[in-house]
Amino acid sequence: MKTKIVTMALAGLLVFSGNQEKLRDINLEIQKVSGQLAAIRQEKASILNDIYALELEVDVANIELKKINLLLAEAQNKIDGKQKEEGVLQGKIARSQENVRRILRVLYKMGELGYVKLFMNIGNLDQLFRNYRLIVALMDDRVIEIKEIRHGIARLQRIKAELKIELDRLSGLKGDKAFKLGRLRGLKQDKLNMVSQINRQRDLNARLLEELKNEERNLTELLNQKTGSVTAETVNFGSLRGKLAWPLPGTVISSFGKKKSSRFDTYTINNGIKIKPLQSDEIKAVHGGEVIFCDYFKGYGNLLIIQHPGNYHSLYGHCDQFLKKPGDRVEPGEVVAMAGTSGSLYGKCLYFEIRQSLKPQDPLVWLEKK
């Protein structure tokens, strides 16, 4: 019985230790994103900054939800462990009670003069000691079992009190989770409202276009800084024109080149295309190379850049999460990220660019025909 309880305690300790490590990681993640949010709020006001700030708040809310889910699981594990321990103790108490009843039945059958009869009905000294030991053993067993029952009941009461604390904690965490979910929905709606406002108001749209042009220049400068030497692949990137596999299956919702807005009579220059996912959100590298950038970039959201041999680059924007980090080597068709809505005014999509010597190329010329 003791071995079983010790095993349960060790298992609970291992789960607790693992959860504590996850909790530390989550708290560090919250600190990091909160720091980014504080920094962006100190920058000059702009539409892109407002969008970025909203997305950072969404990230914080999502991470906090992850933390609450972990705490919920931990509380539930504690409750499950306490309930198992309660069951073990109840069984032990029941067995002790039955032992006491059995001992009392034996003593009752002996009657008040039973002890005297045992000592009177002796034929020799050995029998006397056997009768004496029987009485002492019966009395000792009764005392031991009664003590076991008392200890068990006291422990059971402590477990029930601990269970109530954990159940109250679980209830509070569920309330926190409902609040966070409501806040998350509100933040997402705020972003949708902002996008809708941009699409309705000409001056906001013009400001956004100017900011996007500035970020395009910043992106080119970033690429120039990050570009280095990459080991040559067996297949030259330049020979793959019209043969590259699509980074993810979907529909092109924004094409390459100069585009006119029918609503505002303004022009935009698209250096890439936007693809709306149809079946999967997995983003795959179109060719082998090295990840040289993997972070949030205003106007492009979470942006991953792969450098290919021959001074070619492929860019993957609006990602939900990265599966690679800077310095990682990737193979053609390897999953590098997941499509999302970060920095996007079009909902969930992938922004995809191909550049040769830092100059944007029409991706549809490079991708295989559907």
What was the pLDDT predicted at 364?
95
- The 10 Å CB-count burial string (b at 16+, else e) for 173-205 is beebbeebeebbeebbeebeebbeebeeeeeeb
Residue 63 lies in a domain: yes
Residue 220 lies in a domain: no
What was the pLDDT predicted at 121?
54
- Same domain for 64 and 146? yes
What was the pLDDT predicted at 275?
95
- Same domain for 189 and 243? no
Residue pair 252/274 in contact by the 8 Å Cβ criterion? yes
Residue 67 lies in a domain: yes
- Same domain for 40 and 166? yes
Residue 35 lies in a domain: yes
- Same domain for 137 and 251? no
Last residue of one domain, picked from the residues 199, 220, 250: 199
- Same domain for 339 and 295? yes
How far does Cα 318 stand from its chain's mean position? 20
The tens place of each residue's pLDDT in the chain, 370 residues long, gives 444 444 444 445 445 566 788 888 888 888 887 777 787 777 767 778 888 888 888 888 888 888 888 888 887 887 787 778 777 777 776 776 676 666 666 666 665 545 555 555 545 445 545 555 555 565 566 566 666 666 766 777 777 777 788 778 777 878 888 887 787 778 778 877 777 777 677 666 677 777 777 888 888 888 888 877 666 666 788 889 999 999 999 999 988 987 766 555 666 778 999 999 998 999 999 999 999 999 999 889 999 999 998 889 999 999 999 999 999 999 999 999 999 998 888 889 999 999 999 999 999 999 998 7
Domain with 232 in it: what CATH number? 2.70.70.10
Could you tell me where the beta strands, DSSP code E, fall in the chain? Answer: 250-254, 257-260, 267-270, 273-277, 282-284, 289-297, 301-308, 312-322, 329-330, 335-339, 350-356, 359-361
CB atoms within 10 A of CB 361: 18
What was the pLDDT predicted at 339?
95
- The 10 Å CB-count burial string (b at 16+, else e) for 272-308 is bbbbbbeeebebbbbbbbbbbbbebbbbbbbbbbbbb
How far does Cα 335 stand from its chain's mean position? 19
- Same domain for 193 and 135? yes
- Same domain for 193 and 147? yes
What was the pLDDT predicted at 111?
58
- Same domain for 116 and 195? yes
Residue 209 lies in a domain: no
Question: Could you give the residue ranges of the DSSP H alpha helices within 111-124?
Answer: 114-120
**Distance between CA 271 and CA 280 in Å, rounded?**
24
> What's the total number of domains in the chain?
2
Question: In terms of residue numbers, what domain contains 340?
Answer: 228-366
- Same domain for 251 and 339? yes
Residue 205 lies in a domain: no
Domain with 49 in it: what CATH number? 1.10.287
Residue 155 lies in a domain: yes
- Same domain for 33 and 92? yes
